[in-house]
Structure 1
Amino acid sequence: MTAPQRFILIDDNEADNVYHEIMIRRAGFSGEVLVFESGIEALDFLKADALAIPTCIYLDINMPLMDGFEFALEATPLLAGKPTVVLVMLTSSGSPKDRQRVDEIPVIQGFVTKPLVADTVRTMLQRD
């Protein structure tokens, strides 16, 4: 995947979303940042979007109604075969079970422990 031209944050915690967008901007990103406070809303967006823009999705695990794992499984048919999209679990969980589960869902391409920091975003932005 090339460097993202868009970031999508999926997290039910508004404060985390604000902070993570600040870190994305601090890393030097000036493009589009979309924020969804529910996996259901984000899934609806992905179904309607062509997913042609290189996109990095940061996804929280612990959310009501649809957790991050459920989202990833529901989004798999939409994201499979889309080299323009990278899905990364961004969570406060350090649970080995959560890390193992991430490894079992091929569409999830990374695991980052909150809080997101600018250096992590810069690494994503340097992909080519």
Structure 2
Amino acid sequence: MKVLIVEDNKIALMGIKKVLSEYPNIEINTAENGMIALEFLTVNPSELPHFILLDLNMPIMNGIEFLKAIKKNESLKTLPVIIHTTSFNSSEVKKCEELGICGYFVKELDMVKYKSNIKLIANYWTESKRH
């Protein structure tokens, strides 16, 4: 199973990768902003992920701009996207839902809760690919 993590915070990225390393069947690709992620997806169509874990607040191309771009692309618009961000902003949540996200969660300061959220996502996608 392949996942694309779009995250500019190196510490958050290390934490996510550490949690996902417990799942040997998950292949991880990363991008530090939406522009790099979009380029990766369009240049490597055979490497499309099973889902994308997307931060919203990033330089160059933020998460909402990235979502809008992939929803305009026929080969990318059905990719499942889960938002993980630092704040719960109801207008951002609404915009993301309108763009067809699969989920939205706030990055926890409590690392135990944060790791638990990542594990829930990994377990869900790992289990759904078995069926």
Normalised by the length of structure 2, the TM-score is 0.80
- Tell me which residue corresponds to 1:30: 25
- Tell me which residue corresponds to 1:119: 120
CA RMSD of aligned residues (A): 1.8
Greater shift, 67-76 or 48-57, is seen at: 48-57
- Tell me which residue corresponds to 1:105: 99
Give, as a single letter, the amino acid of the residue that structure 1 aligns with 2:20. Answer: I
- Tell me which residue corresponds to 2:55: 60
Normalised by the length of structure 1, the TM-score is 0.81
Which of the residues 77, 81, 89 maps onto 1:87?
A: 81
Ranges in structure 2 where 5+ consecutive residues have no aligned partner: 108-113
Give, as a single letter, the amino acid of the residue that structure 1 aligns with 2:18. Answer: I
Residue by residue over 1:6-51, the C-alpha shift from the partner in whole angstroms, topping out at 9 and shown as x without a partner, is 111101101111101111123x243310111121111101111225
1:125 to partner: Cα distance: 1.4
Query: Taking structure 1 as reference, are residues 10 and 50 closer, same or farther at Cα in structure 2, changes over 3 Å only?
Result: same
Ranges in structure 1 where 5+ consecutive residues have no aligned partner: none
Query: Taking structure 1 as reference, are residues 11 and 54 closer, same or farther at Cα in structure 2, changes over 3 Å only?
Result: closer
- Asked if the contact 1:23–1:121 (Cα under 8 Å) also holds between the matched residues in 2, the reply is no
Off by >6 Å, runs of 4+ in structure 1: none
CA distance in 2, matches of 1:9, 1:100: 22
Is the strand fraction higher in 1 or 2?
1
